[in-house]
A and B are shown apart, each in its own frame.
Chain A
């Protein structure tokens, strides 16, 4: 049986130290867990428009097999991953504008109004149920996610 000499020990330690960055990179690239990714408000940038994400009410997210995506506005989610989420290739999440809880994008109810000041001025807000959406915006038209993707919200250009 081989004994562990000091030289071998140092060698092993050096090898481990050298391998650590590689291992870390591998682990980092490994497919992450499911569920909406964490958003660091005021620090993370939107994957569609590049703006800092700073308003939890309208922040959205998607997860493809290869990437987690973060958006500052529901319009950016629709633009960036709308078809993928609608067709089930990717998972998408939006915040309930009142409770700020994550809601599955495909199951949420959406309203659009110029009175809703969203980061990209899309005026889109999401709620967990149509009833909650109507409670917050009486008389508004309630959309499904598929309807949003079918008629994507173009940012206004004044």
Chain B
């Protein structure tokens, strides 16, 4: 017996509705962003209710390239989605009940239009995001269009976008509705019997998807912690738990689905006093914001603590290690409360602690991003710090290593003061452009200092040295760094005595400035006969050994005068200044001590950093010189011959 058209229509309609409504509740589109500083990547998910996932982080990131923030209230057409789904579902239902062909056709158009319009609109929005960047942003990117489906690579970000299961189901609904009655009539009877089953199953899936996000089962966190034997692993289900939570015994506290611990403004939110406590996978928020209480999201006093993969938000201090030893703070996202800088606390704060590892954290706001005081033998690696006063602030802390971190858009990237045996290598210090105090790196009274392989770009001042090294026999070696696009590359107080070699110093408004009483002999611009690459070097290399044959020298008359009469600095970079400089260079009108003298400048930028054209070969240069000189000599000879009689 062949099924009646009515039964076919009904079965098709039920299946279609289940797929449509279920799909509209599930993720419609997802985007994953991978970058070195994001462990596990960032995710963005769109479903019928809005945008979810790491929206805040992405917005913070986008802020630096001037992208508009992702906000639902700026995407008005998103509000049409739910009414659209409802209308089409109603159309499908009524068409199935009545059998009106016109309505069926209309519903079919709607079914196809919904997911396709969604994708088209999203692509249009992505295009707008990539093409309307604020020209005043810290970083300027060329316009680009993220693909709505597929992979887009921008800077060091690798973005993959895919339709979600919800969108696939919605498209499936459209297919089912289009071919359903026809297929039902022609299908094998055995298959036909499966149709109601499939419909029921789809309904169940849709129903569970709709109700999945429910309340968490009651779980008493404080009681579970109190009852756990030492060393136990306590898995905490999703939910919101009240702080403050004190962890006084060895314990692994693991959040599943990122449970929230909310301090509700009472003081510290989580306090770790016991040894070997692990806290991971939580959202910690809501500590006291009163500055005088100096409360923190997570306080660590015990030894061997691990604070990992937490999201710490809306607190005064983020993670505060007071007298802690051997702790690990890794993979956390920390953002202190949005207060003016003098009211904020540090995102990560070390005080009289030692042997600490701070790695892979994303610090999106703090007074200081990472503040280290009186804490030795500590490593800071692969962190990202933005929007803070000092990205890294080191006071009275020795034998520490700072490696592969990224400091973007802080007032000062890093300030290292009164500390010795400091290693800073392969970090990025960019966008510290504050007019009053912006600097990539500041050193004051630092000893046995190695600054190597860092990228220091687009700051007001690249590196500033004051009284460094501070002790007799101390040293400060600055090597293989890229110092580019800063207003001032190196700013040396006359008390500084650094040794610089193999650095690439290009496109700075002023490569080196010396402040205070000038003593050029204090800093050395070469080590073992190897100097630095200077973008504005005008020498040559006849011997072909890669080292320029004339020293790189910069003497700035006006700057020297400006030290005596600061008002003269108003003439910096004016034609008058340039004329004065040219005059002094051509004729020794006034003896001016150079602010920098590199006896062995490099002809090429080391390490493939941006440099100029390859230096011409020595012999070619000689020929060119003779050819240029010849007409001049000839002219001079003629002139003399004419005058002779």
Residues of A within 8 A of B (CB): 21, 25, 29, 40-45, 49-52, 54-57, 98, 117, 120-121, 155-158
Contact = CB atoms under 8 A, between A and B. Distances in A.
Given A21-B570, A25-B570, A43-B434, 19 more contacts: A25-B567, A29-B567, A41-B341, A42-B342, A42-B411, A45-B436, A50-B444, A50-B466, A54-B342, A54-B367, A98-B292, A117-B294, A117-B351, A120-B395, A121-B374, A121-B395, A155-B396, A157-B396, A158-B398
Contact of B396 (A40, A57, A156): A156
A48 to B, nearest CB: 11
Contacts of A54: 341-342, 367, 389
Contacts of B418: 155, 157
B374 to A, nearest CB: 6
B436 A41 contact: no
Given A54-B389, A121-B396, A157-B418, A42 B442 contact: no
25 contacts: A21-B570, A41-B341, A42-B341, A42-B342, A42-B411, A43-B437, A44-B437, A50-B442, A50-B466, A51-B415, A52-B389, A52-B411, A52-B437, A54-B389, A55-B342, A56-B342, A57-B291, A117-B294, A120-B395, A121-B373, A121-B374, A155-B418, A156-B374, A156-B396, A158-B397
B516 to A, nearest CB: 12
Interface of B: 291-292, 294, 340-342, 351, 367, 373-374, 376, 389-390, 395-398, 411-412, 415, 417-418, 434, 436-437, 442, 444, 466, 567, 570
Contact of A42 (B292, B340, B466): B340
A29 B565 CA distance: 12
Main secondary structure of the interface of A (DSSP, over half): loop
Nearest to A42: B341
Contacts of A43: 411, 434, 436-437
Given A21-B570, A45-B436, A117-B294, A51 B340 contact: no
A52 B390 contact: yes
A29 B376 CA distance: 46
Contact of B417 (A51, A98, A158): A51
A29 B38 CA distance: 50
Contacts of A56: 342
A54 B340 CA distance: 10
Contacts of A157: 396, 418
A41 B396 contact: no
A128 B570 CA distance: 42
Query: When A and B form their complex, which 9 residue pairs have the shortest distance between CB atoms, in order from nearest?
Result: A42-B341, A41-B342, A43-B436, A158-B396, A54-B342, A45-B437, A158-B374, A25-B567, A42-B389
Contacts of A41: 340-342
A138 B357 CA distance: 37
Contacts of A29: 567
B325 to A, nearest CB: 16
Nearest to B351: A117
A106 B398 CA distance: 36
Contacts of B466: 50
Among A40, A52, A56, A155, max chain B CB count under 10 A is at A52
A9 B292 CA distance: 61
Contacts of A49: 417, 444
A136 to B, nearest CB: 10
A117 B376 CA distance: 18
Contacts of B436: 40, 43-45
Contacts of A120: 395
A55 B397 CA distance: 21
Contacts of A52: 389-390, 411-412, 437
Contacts of A50: 442, 444, 466
A12 B436 CA distance: 35
Among A21, A44, A50, max chain B CB count under 10 A is at A50
A98 B291 CA distance: 11
Nearest to B376: A158
Nearest to B397: A158
B254 to A, nearest CB: 33
B488 to A, nearest CB: 15
Contacts of A57: 291-292
A96 to B, nearest CB: 12
A157 B292 CA distance: 26
Contacts of B570: 21, 25
A145 B276 CA distance: 46
